[in-house]
Structure 1
Amino acid sequence: MWFTFILLPLLSQFTLSAHCPSGCACNVKGAAKCIGDISDIPPLDPKTTFLLLLKDTNIKVLKDRSFQSFSLLLRVMITHSAIDTIQPEAFHGAPQFRSIKLSSNALSVFPPKVFSEQSNLEQLQLDDNQIVSISSELFEGLVNLKELDLSKNRISQLDANVFQNLTELIYLNLAGNQLRNLPKTLFHNLRQLETLVLSSNQLETLESGSFDHLSNLCFLSLQKNLIQEIPPRLFWHLPSLLKLSMSGNRLQYIPDESFYYLPNLTMLTLFKNPLISLPDQLIGNMPGLQELYLYNTSLVTVPWNLFANMTNLRFLNLHLNDKLSFLPKDLFCCLPNLNKLSLKHNNLRTLEADLFSNLTSLQILMLNDNKLESLPETIFSNTSRLEILDLSRNHLKYLPGDVFTHTRALNVLSLSGNTWKCDCSIMGIAEWIRDNPRLINDSEKGVACYEPYHLQNHSLQTLTHAELKCGQVVFQTMIMTTSIIATQFPATSTPPPSTASSTKARTTATLTTPSSTSTFATTASRFSPTSDPIYIKQGNDYSNDLAFYEKIVLDNGPEIVHNNHYGGWVYLWTVPSTGPLSGFMTALYIVLLVTGVVLVMATWYALYRLHKVMWLLQKVTMGDKRIMARRVRSFKVKL
């Protein structure tokens, strides 16, 4: 018994080898693969061969009835060979064929009736040949064909009736040809069609009604053509459509309501079109849309309601639009499920504070390579799930120190390549970077100062208040953000204005040189600028620490300046115009001022009451003296 089990497979293999020609490999399942120097169909066993694969052969001609002897052969593939001629009856005598693949050969012409007996054929692949034209009779007998691939040929024109009998066709690939136009009725009989590929042709226009009968179509590819315009309602009769690609064309405008009645669409691509504008009513209800690609266009802005009907959108690519400079405030109002938003390589300069407020599921946000100069403090307040944020290569000079407070899930942050201005205003974000080094995706010196020059390429996370001369004041207060600048004026000099306007970029005060040079220099070294240094010149005497001029210059001065005169000095009290404590400092100043007024009035009232009491005491005292005098006189009389 064991001998029989071992011997039978050996006998089978010996039998196959006996019927398998040189250059071929055969297996027990009926498949034969032949490669190499073969110029004709090899003499295989017709009773065991179900699948025939011929690859890289020297076969140039398929002769009449080449497969008639293979009564059980179902699939034949002759690829990457030199076939340039097919005789009119090459497949006659083999009506049982289910699949014929003649890809990557040198075929240019097919006899009109060559497939007339293949009524059972389901798959026909003629791609990557040199076919120039197709007879309207070529596919007449293929009533059960489900897949037809004519891609990568040289077809420039198709007869309107060429696909008329392919009523069971599910897949049709015409990509990579030279088609310039399509007859309006070309696809009207293909009611079962699910995939239509027309990419990489030379189509300039599409006839209205071309797709009206394709109610089962799921995938439509029109990218990489020369389409300059599309007729209105072109896609209205495609209720089953899942993916639509219009990228890589020459569309400048799209008609109103072009993408209405596509409730099942999951992906839409419009990139690489020179779109100038989009209509307000462009996209209808698309609850299933998950991916939208709208990049590499000439758009300056987009309608505020462009994404309003895409409530299930997951990925939005709105990048590489070098003219896109403005985004409406409510643009992302209705995308609660959006995971990834790409706005990189645009021309954005500012962003609305509430732009991302409804993107509660956002995880990836790409804002790199724009021209953003600043960001609102609350722009990320509702993006608690944000994990990756790229702000690199913009024009950012500052960021609010608490701008990332609500991004609790943040894992990767890129900030390099910006024009960071390292003065006292940068310390908020610098301290945040220092406290969160693991989040920064840049090199050690990637987040570096751009100006001033002496701090250029200095890492933000290593900046200190001492380096920027922040936090040193003449008069210490409980709130360290208050700056005091003291300057002495002689009695004959004219004092500076008592207040400084917040709308002016510079505040100046003329100085007269004090009598004590050393005292003035010592005091000047303690000046605490709020943004840029204050320079003062004192005759021809220059301090080692600062350059002295005849005026105090406050560049980008604070909004609130108050001065007091005391002992020949002018004390300038300043409150930073921005930051979380500016409002608090203003309120505190008002409270202190009101408190001072109340205390003065209370003191005045107390003095008034004291004066009245003293007057009464004096009156009482005078009365007592008179009584005592009368008693003394009476006593003397008695004596």
Structure 2
Amino acid sequence: MWFGFVLLQLLPQFALSAPCPYRCVCDIRGSVKCTGDITDIPPLDPSTTFLLLLNDTNIKILKDRSFQPFSLLLRLMITHSTLDTIQPEAFHGAPQLRSLKLSSNALSVFPAKVFSEQSDLEQLQLDNNQIASVSSELFEAMVNLTELNLSKNRISRLDADVFRGLNNLIYLNLADNQLRNLPNNLFHNLLQLKSLVLSSNQLETLEKGSFDHLSNLLVLMLQKNHIQQIPPRLFWPLPSLLTLSMSANQLQDIPAETFYYLPKLTKLTLYKNPLTSLPYHLMGHMPRIQELYLYETNLSTLPWNLFANMTNLKALNLHFNNKLTSLPKNLFCCLPNLKKLSLKNNNLDELDPELFSNLGSLQVLMLNENKLESLPSAIFRNTSRLEKLDLNHNHLRYLPGDVFVHARVLKDLSLRGNKWNCDCSIMGIAEWIRGNPNLISDLDEVTCYEPYRLKNHQLQMLTHEELLCGVFQTTFMATGAITTVAPTLQTSTATSTTATNTAKETTTAATFPTSTSIRSPTTGHIYVKQGSGIDIDPAFYDTIVLDNGPEIVHNNYYNGWVYLWTVPSTGTYSGFMMALYIVLLVSGVVLIVASLYTLYRLHKVIWVLGKVSMGDNQRVMVRRVRSFKVKF
């Protein structure tokens, strides 16, 4: 008895341990996977095969009743093979099939009744083939089908009743085909449908009522088509919709109230449409929406109430709109839960001080690649949770020194690629940068753009002395006149008349604290007198600060006055002076060379004369010696 009991226990294992066909792998649980040079269904044990996977084979034809012997076969997959023909009764005799996957083959035509016995089939995947048309009878018997994938084929049209019997269908994928239009009642019988994918087709319009009766639909994908317009109220019958994608179409405008009655919507994409304007009444009550994508459009501005009904929005992508120049003050009025806001790559040149005042949960703000020249000092007043801020590649010239004071948890700030004007007004933000270097990700690239003498100088290294704050700076105007500015001094009433007269005579503007500090008796001169009540650094007499160009400057100190003369960088007089300078320079060089040559010639003559004189002396000495010898 004990032996019989053990034998009964081992019989299934003996049965399952039957030889596995060549190029197949058999699993004890009843799955078989075959690959390689196989041209027909391999001989398998029909009593133990529940799952059959034929991947990357050379099977070209499925013959009639090919699977009739496999009475227990529930799942069949033939993929990435050369399969191009299915005979009319290929699946007859296998009504028990629950899942059939024929993806990535060369199928182009299906016999109308080939699935007539597959009433229990739940999953059918025919994607990535060459199917051009689908008979209205093909899915007729599949009353229990829940998933149908026809994507990546060549289907250009569908009959209105092709899905008529699929009352239990939950997922339908028609993406990557060549559909140009859809019958308005094509989906009316799909009452249980939850996901409909129509992306990457050639749809130009959508018929009114196309999505009627799809009250259970959760996902609708319409992106990457050629849709130019949509009828009003198209999406109203979809109260359960969670995700709606209309991106990458040809929409120039959207009818008012289009997105009303979508209370459960969590994600909406409208990017890559040539939208020129949006109606004020566009978005209905969307308390659950979390993501909105509205970029790469032709919008120049937005309705102030566009996001007013999206109180739970967490990510707003409003970037790459190269015509977007302004944003309404109250645009972000009602987004208390927004965490990420992207406004990068727009054409914004200024922002309202109250624009972000209601974004108390904001953590990431992208403002890079705009044309912002400055920011209001209180713009981040209520963004106490801001952690990342990108301001790179704008036109920023100044920033208030306290602009980031309220961003107490800021961790990542980018400021590179701006046009910082490094005069005394930059010191506030420069000192803040110097005190918070760890917060700036591109610290070494935050450099002066102007004036020329400080170009590429790092803001964090700026000092009052370098900027000559409190010291008069001479700025050259286009006319060649001089503007003398003392940034830290205030203009007094006593000087206003004098400064005005000076401006009339020399096109200059100067502010000094006393009435005797500036005079202009002759055009082209500015005088600053010692003892005038201004504390002037003595270095001023030797150093002139040039802000706007390489004009020729000469200064003299005489009798308690500093005399400054300028020559404009352009014009006839400037050219004459430059030519004269060059002539004088060349003349000097010629004179130096001539002098050197003359010295050389003179030295040579002296050397010859010296040699001749030495020879004469020697001859005289010889005569004297000879005369001495004769006398001796």
| TM-score, scaled to structure 1 | 0.77
Q: Specify every segment of 5 or more residues in structure 1 that has no aligned partner in the other structure, as ranges.
A: 474-479, 552-639
d(CA) in 2 for partners of 1:281, 1:344: 26
Distance 1:344 1:327 in 2: 13
Where does residue 454 of structure 1 map in the other structure?
453
Structure 2 residue 28 is the aligned partner of structure 1 residue 28: yes
SS, match of residue 124 in structure 2: strand
Evaluate the alpha carbon distance shift between residue 5 and residue 397 of structure 1 in structure 2; reply closer, same or farther with a 3 A threshold: farther
Q: Distance in 1 between matches of 2:487 and 2:388?
A: 33
Go from structure 1 to structure 2 and tell me whether the alpha carbon gap of 1:516 and 1:258 turns closer, same or farther (over 3 Å shift): closer
| Counterpart in the other structure of 1:198 | 198
Answer yes or no: is 1:378 the counterpart of 2:378: yes
Distance 1:5 1:420 in 2: 91
Kindly indicate whether the alpha-carbon contact (under 8 Å) linking 1:17 and 1:26 is maintained by their aligned counterparts in 2: no
TM alignment of 1:348-363, pairs within 5 A: 348-363=348-363
- Of 489, 512, 516, the match for 1:483: 489
Q: Which amino acid aligns with 2:520?
A: L
**What secondary structure, in the 3-state scheme, does the structure 2 residue paired with 1:19 have?**
coil
Question: In the superposition, relative to structure 1, how do residues 172 and 283 fare at CA in structure 2: closer, same or farther (>3 Å)?
Answer: same
| CA-CA distance at 1:217 after TM superposition | 0.1
Contact 1:511–1:550 (CA under 8 A) maintained in structure 2: no
Measure, in 1, the Cα distance between the counterparts of 2:508 and 2:338.
43
User: Closer, same or farther in 2 for the Cα pair 1:22/1:328, shift >3 Å?
Assistant: same
**Contact 1:510/1:550 (8 A) holds in 2:** no
Task: Provide the C-alpha distance between the structure 2 equivalents of 1:517 and 1:169, rounded to a whole number of angstroms.
Answer: 93
Question: Conserved in 1, the CA contact under 8 Å of 2:452 and 2:548?
Answer: no
SS class of match (1:445): helix
Asked if 1:470 is matched to 2:469, the reply is yes
Contact kept in structure 2, 1:445 and 1:457, CA below 8 Å = no
Q: Shift in Å at residue 132 of structure 1?
A: 0.2
Aligned to 2:345: 345
Using a 3 Å threshold, how does the CA distance of structure 1 residues 409 and 45 change in structure 2: closer, same or farther?
Answer: same
3-state SS of the aligned residue for 2:445? coil
Distance 2:51 2:164 in 1: 30
Q: State the identity as a percent.
A: 67
May I ask how many residue pairs the two structures share in their alignment? 533
Partner of 1:86: 86
CA shift, 1:28, in A, is 1.1
What letter is aligned with 2:40? D
Kindly indicate whether the alpha-carbon contact (under 8 Å) linking 1:32 and 1:51 is maintained by their aligned counterparts in 2.
yes
Counterpart contact for 2:527–2:564, Cα < 8 Å = no
**Alpha-carbon separation, structure 1, partners of 2:199 and 2:32:** 35
Gaps in structure 2 of 5+ consecutive residues: 473-485, 512-517, 567-632
Q: Contact 2:503–2:509 (CA<8 Å) still a contact in 1?
A: no
The answer for the alignment partner of 1:230 in structure 2 is: 230
Give distance in 1, aligned partners of 2:295 and 2:116: 47
Residue of structure 1 aligned with 2:520, choices 496, 511, 515:
511
Cα offsets for 1:532-576 (capped at 9, x unmatched): 9799x99964479x995369xxxxxxxxxxxxxxxxxxxxxxxxx
CA distance in 2, matches of 1:533, 1:88: 87
> 1:470, 1:266 → 2: CA distance?
54
Q: Indicate yes or no: 2:384 matched with 1:369.
A: no
| Pair 284,500 (structure 1): closer, same or farther in 2 beyond 3 Å | farther
C-alpha distance in 2, partners of 1:144/1:518? 101
One-letter amino acid of the counterpart of residue 460, structure 1 = L
> Within 2, Cα distance between the matches of 1:514 and 1:137?
97
Q: Offset at 1:223?
A: 0.2
Cα drift, residue 169 of structure 1: 0.2
Work out which of the residue numbers 549, 556, 563 in structure 1 matches 2:564: 549
Distance 2:98 2:552 in 1: 100
- Matches of 1:91 and 1:515 in 2, distance apart? 105
Matched, 1:318 2:318: yes
Measure the CA separation in 1 of the matches of 2:458 and 2:501.
Answer: 40
Secondary structure of 1:427's match? Answer: helix
Structure 1 equivalent of residue 124 of structure 2: 124
Give yes or no for contact 1:538–1:549 (8 Å, CA) kept in 2: no
On the 8 A contact 1:290/1:312 being kept in 2, the answer is: yes
Counterpart position of 1:576: none
Cα drift, residue 20 of structure 1: 1.3
Q: Which residue of 1 aligns with 2:212?
A: 212
Structure 2 residue identity aligned to 1:483: L
Given that 1:538 and 1:548 are in contact with CA atoms closer than 8 Å, whether structure 2 keeps it comes out as no
Q: Residue 450 of structure 1: SS of its match in structure 2?
A: strand
- Structure 1 residue 51 and structure 2 residue 51: aligned? yes
1:320-362 CA-partner distances (Å, limit 9, x unpaired): 0010001000000000000000000000000000000000000
Task: Find the aligned partners of 1:365 and 1:349 in 2 and give their Cα distance.
Answer: 16
Contact 1:445 1:458 in 2 (8 A): no
Whether 1:40 and 2:50 are equivalent positions in the alignment is: no
- Partners in 1 of 2:463 and 2:180 — Cα distance? 67
Q: Is the 8 A contact 1:62 1:86 kept in 2?
A: yes
Post-superposition offset of 1:421: 0.6
Q: Distance in 2 between matches of 1:4 and 1:428?
A: 95
Q: For residues 7 and 34 of structure 1, what CA distance do their matches in structure 2 show? A: 31
Q: How far does residue 453 in structure 1 lie from its aligned partner after superposition? A: 1.1
* Contact 2:499–2:509 (CA under 8 A) maintained in structure 1: no
TM-superposed CA distance for 1:229, in Å, is: 0.2
